[in-house]
Amino acid sequence: MNAPVNDGAPPRPTFKDMINSVVDAGACSECGACVVVCPHGIIEMIGRKPGKRVGSLGDHDHCGVSTGIGCDACAAVCPRLWPREPHLREATFGEAEAGGDRGFEGIFGVYRHIFVARARDPQALARGQDGGVVTALLAWARETDAIDGAIVAAVGEGDAPCFPTPKVVTTPEQIRASAGSWYTYSPNPLALKPLKKAKVERAAFVGVPCQVTPLRKMERIDTTRLLRAGKSPTVHGRQRDCMRGPSERVAISIGLFCSEVFVPELMTEHVAQTMGIPLDRITKLNIKGEVLIHTRDGAVATIPLAQAAHDYQRPECRHCGDFAAELADISCGGVGTDRATVVVLRTERGVDLWREFEASGRVEVWPIQEHKKAWNILQRLARKQREQIAPPTAGAYGTAPAPVQYCAAEEAVRARQALILAGCSDAEIDERLHALRGVREGAPAAAALGPAHPIPGDPGEPAPDEKRKLPPPPAPHEGGASPGPAAGAGFARWTK
């Protein structure tokens, strides 16, 4: 399922592929994105996994729409199917920003700036997981109307203690109440669906990498793959709106570094029963070499990380190749820091938002060279996670050839050719393309956009008998520092 093909006919996984090689194979991340985009209500989350609606006919891996009029929007956005993160680099950072500064690229993805930050907002810092940066940024963005809501994971009224669920929040108070990380899975993409009802049109999306990838796929996978000769423009339009629509309500994505989550039994069995800590007494969990359990009385209990990982790591996470949320606009993590957040600004829109945030005076920043430990751990963990999955191409990083890239323009050409072969007239083709609004036919070929710069001083791939050397943390003028404050940096232009 991961094998990239570059013969002009990129793989187009189907519903059947998704059920067989993702869900039944134990690789499903439980993100829920397939359910969110399903235009015909065929699938729903059954327990924690997607499946056909109860009572629907046919085999569990058969969707009549997929084999009949054609669809497969579900498989198009699934983070476990091709294209995976390294194959979406051009679609995310190339076409989106053609002609712009391409930034740098390391094993943790494309970046424009990487640095360390801490919120000055006392509430965000006190409740936040690391530097409280995600929460402070969201709260400021909502207060200034840069966003009109956010998708977060929080333990709210009605949730079991320590078990977060996805939430759409629309006030700074709700945002601040969602600070902190929980290490059981919350399928945040499911909250994309209620955005419309909540009248949120410029949301910030917070999620772990396996949730940011489907969001980026909703935005970037070309909807021409939905085209079929016999399908009406109305159905084309509906399928297009379901596949693309949720991403059109998101103004910015904030990805969280992530190497694993735990199964619920870590909390219900080990913490509650074996350790005897009532879950409703827990105020915060953190992982810093060990699992730290903070309780209301100020005590901190610990579980050795190796034990927690061995006994309670969610097995689905072993199919994950993205530690650093490579396709997010902004990625944040807490590796090697103390009450501070490592911030990676990846896209131009991420840079613009950050510069305005920094101009508010609500955050302090340090160059990554002052946090070499954080940089080194990030390199190691990103490589370890990448190596969990089949390589994008042999030796895809360093000086070796880049992975094959997903190309929307190729996909559109292929779809048009199929309609011509099926005997559609030019007028019919135009009508169907029109129904897909937002088709980017004629977009520049990905290869023409060129690669990002390697990390300055990166020693590259080691010789077979050599130990791998890590690249040095970049200097401030080479992307190793915040871009600096700039009120009115232009974030609003991305949300029009």
Ligand X SMILES: Cc1cc2nc3c(=O)[nH]c(=O)nc-3n(C[C@H](O)[C@H](O)[C@H](O)COP(=O)(O)OP(=O)(O)OC[C@H]3O[C@@H](n4cnc5c(N)ncnc54)[C@H](O)[C@@H]3O)c2cc1C
Please report whether residue 407 would count as binding ligand X according to CB under 6 A. no
Alpha helices (H) along 161-291: 172-177, 194-197, 209-220, 233-248, 265
* Type and span of the H or E element at 77: helix 73-77
What is the pattern of x (binds ligand SF4, CB under 6 A) and - over residues 169-198?
Answer: ----------------x-------------
Please report whether residue 164 would count as binding ligand SF4 according to CB under 6 A. no
Question: How many binding residues for ligand SF4 (CB under 6 A)?
Answer: 39
Q: Which is nearer to ligand SF4, 221 or 320 (CB)?
A: 320
Measure CA 300 to chain center: 31
* Contact window for ligand SF4 (CB under 6 A) among 129-137, 166-174, 208-216, 483-491: 208-216
Token duo for residue 118: 């801490």
Which DSSP string do the residues of 428-472 spell out, in sequence order? HHHHHHHHT-S--TTPPPGGGG-PPEEPTT---SPPTTSPP-PPP
Please report whether residue 133 would count as binding ligand X according to CB under 6 A. yes
Cβ 359 to ligand SF4 shortest distance, Å: 32
Cβ 112 to ligand X shortest distance, Å: 19
| 83 prior amide bond cis, ω within 30 | yes
Any bridge partners for residue 151, and if so which? 168, 205
* Distance separating alpha carbons of residues 344 and 334, to the nearest angstrom: 12
Cβ 76 to ligand X shortest distance, Å: 23
Beta carbons of 486 and 357 less than 8 angstroms apart: no
* Distance separating alpha carbons of residues 188 and 290, to the nearest angstrom: 26
Which residue is associated with the tokens 């056909």? 52
* Contact window for ligand X (CB under 6 A) among 122-130, 269-277, 313-321, 478-486: 122-130
* Contact window for ligand X (CB under 6 A) among 128-136, 239-247, 308-316, 420-428: 128-136
Any bridge partners for residue 286, and if so which? 292
83 binds, among ligand X, ligand SF4, none (CB under 5 to 8 A by kind): none
* Type and span of the H or E element at 150: strand 149-154
1 binds, among ligand X, ligand SF4, none (CB under 5 to 8 A by kind): none
* Contact window for ligand SF4 (CB under 6 A) among 2-10, 63-71, 89-97, 102-110: 63-71
Residue 31: how many CB atoms within 10 A of its CB? 29
* Contact window for ligand SF4 (CB under 6 A) among 16-24, 125-133, 333-341, 403-411: 16-24
* Three-class SS state of 166: strand
Residues at the contact surface with ligand X, assessed by CB under 6 A: 124, 128-135, 152-154, 164, 178-183, 186, 188, 206-208, 256-259, 261, 332-335, 341
Residues at the contact surface with ligand SF4, assessed by CB under 6 A: 15, 18, 22-23, 28-34, 38-40, 42-43, 50, 63, 65-66, 71-74, 78-80, 185, 208-210, 214, 258-261, 316-317, 320
